[in-house]
Amino acid sequence: MSSNGFAGQIAGIDLTSGEIKRDPLDPEIALKFAGGWGLNCKLAYDLIPRGVDPLSPDNPIIIGTGLLVGTNAPGASKLFLTAKIPLNGTISTAASGGSLAHMLKWAGYDCLVITGRSDRPVYLDIFDDTIEIRDASFLWGKDIFETTDRLREEHGHRCSVMAIGQAGENLGNLSFAYVDKVASLGKGGLGAIMGAKNLKAMVVRGTKGIGIADPKKFRKLTSKLIEGVKNYPQRERWMKLSTMYSWESFPDLSMPVKYWTELSPPGEANELYGVKVLNEVRKASVACPSCPIACKKVVQAKRGDFEGLETYVSHFDGAAVCWGVAFDLKDYSRGIKLTDLANRYGIDELAASDIINYAIHLYDNGIITEKETGGRRLRRDFETAGMLLEEMSQKTGLGGILVDGYPAAIEAFGPEAEKMAVQIKGHYVVFDPRLLFGTEVFTAIVNTRGGAHTVPGLGPTSFVPGRPIEQIRRHCHRIGVPEDAMERIFADPTGLNMARFTKYIEDRFSVFNIFGICSRHAVAMNYNSETLAELYSLATGKAATPAELAGYGEMIWNLDKRLNAREGFDRSDDTVPDQWFQPMKAGRMDLVLMDYYRKKPLTREDMNRLIDDYYDERGWDQKTGLPTAEKLRSLGLEEFMK
Q: Tell me the domains of the chain and their CATH numbers.
A: 9-205 (3.60.9.10), 247-428 (1.10.569.10), 439-640 (1.10.599.10)
H/E segment holding residue 283? strand 282-286
H/E segment holding residue 486? helix 483-490
Average the pLDDT over 521-527 and give the result. 84
Q: Of 447, 350, 412, 449, whose CA–CA distance to 86 is shortest?
A: 449
Q: What is the mean pLDDT of the chain?
A: 93
Average the pLDDT over 546-575 and give the result. 95
Q: Which residues of 567-585 are buried (b: 16+ CB within 10 A; e: fewer)?
A: bebebebbebbebbbeebe
Asked if the model's pLDDT at residue 470 lies above 60, the reply is yes
What is the distance between the terminal CA atoms of the chain, rounded to a whole angstrom?
35
H/E segment holding residue 615? helix 604-618
Distance CA 418, CA 140 (A): 35
Supply the DSSP symbol for 199: E
Band (pLDDT 50/70/90 cuts) for residue 25 is: very high
Instruction: Say which range, 9-18, 25-34, 558-567, has the weakest mean pLDDT.
Output: 25-34
Asked if the model's pLDDT at residue 544 lies above 60, the reply is yes
Distance CA 95, CA 613 (A): 28
Distance of CA 356 to the CA centre of its chain: 20
Please tell me the predicted confidence (pLDDT) of residue 519. 84
Average the pLDDT over 386-393 and give the result. 98
Asked if the model's pLDDT at residue 636 lies above 50, the reply is yes
Asked if the model's pLDDT at residue 455 lies above 80, the reply is no
Please tell me the predicted confidence (pLDDT) of residue 456. 47
Please tell me the predicted confidence (pLDDT) of residue 106. 97
Global pTM?
A: 0.96
Please tell me the predicted confidence (pLDDT) of residue 123. 98
Fill in the amino acid letter for 158. Answer: R
Please tell me the predicted confidence (pLDDT) of residue 486. 96
pLDDT tens sequence across 184-233? 999 999 999 999 999 999 999 999 999 999 999 999 999 999 999 888 88
Asked if the model's pLDDT at residue 124 lies above 60, the reply is yes
Three-class secondary structure assignment of 309-344: CEEEECCCHHHHHHHHHCCCCCCHHHHHHHHHHHHH
Distance CA 16, CA 214 (A): 42
Asked if the model's pLDDT at residue 454 lies above 70, the reply is no
Average the pLDDT over 557-574 and give the result. 96
Q: Of 361, 345, 353, 348, whose CA–CA distance to 396 is shortest?
A: 345
Enumerate the β-bridge partners of residue 127: 130, 205
Asked if the model's pLDDT at residue 69 lies above 60, the reply is yes
How many beta carbons lie within 10 A of that of residue 378, not counting itself?
22
Please tell me the predicted confidence (pLDDT) of residue 460. 54
Please tell me the predicted confidence (pLDDT) of residue 241. 83
Please tell me the predicted confidence (pLDDT) of residue 479. 85
pLDDT tens sequence across 412-440? 999 999 999 999 999 999 999 999 999 98
Please tell me the predicted confidence (pLDDT) of residue 194. 98
| In contact, 12 and 113? CB cutoff 8 Å | yes
Supply the DSSP symbol for 134: E
Strand order in the sheet with 310-313: 282-286, 296-300, 310-313
Average the pLDDT over 552-576 and give the result. 95
Enumerate the β-bridge partners of residue 177: 185
| In contact, 11 and 20? CB cutoff 8 Å | yes
By CB neighbour count within 10 A (0-12 exposed, 13-18 middle, 19+ buried), where does 233 fall?
Answer: exposed
| In contact, 455 and 461? CB cutoff 8 Å | yes
Average the pLDDT over 557-568 and give the result. 96
H/E segment holding residue 237? helix 235-241
How many beta carbons lie within 10 A of that of residue 563, not counting itself?
23
Find all residues with CB under 8 Å of 295, minimum gap 6, and list them.
238, 239, 242, 243, 285, 287, 315, 520, 522
pLDDT tens sequence across 348-368? 999 999 999 999 999 999 999
Q: How many CA atoms lie within 13 A of 274 on its CB side?
A: 18
Q: How many CA atoms lie within 13 A of 342 on its CB side?
A: 29
Supply the DSSP symbol for 21: E
Average the pLDDT over 609-628 and give the result. 97
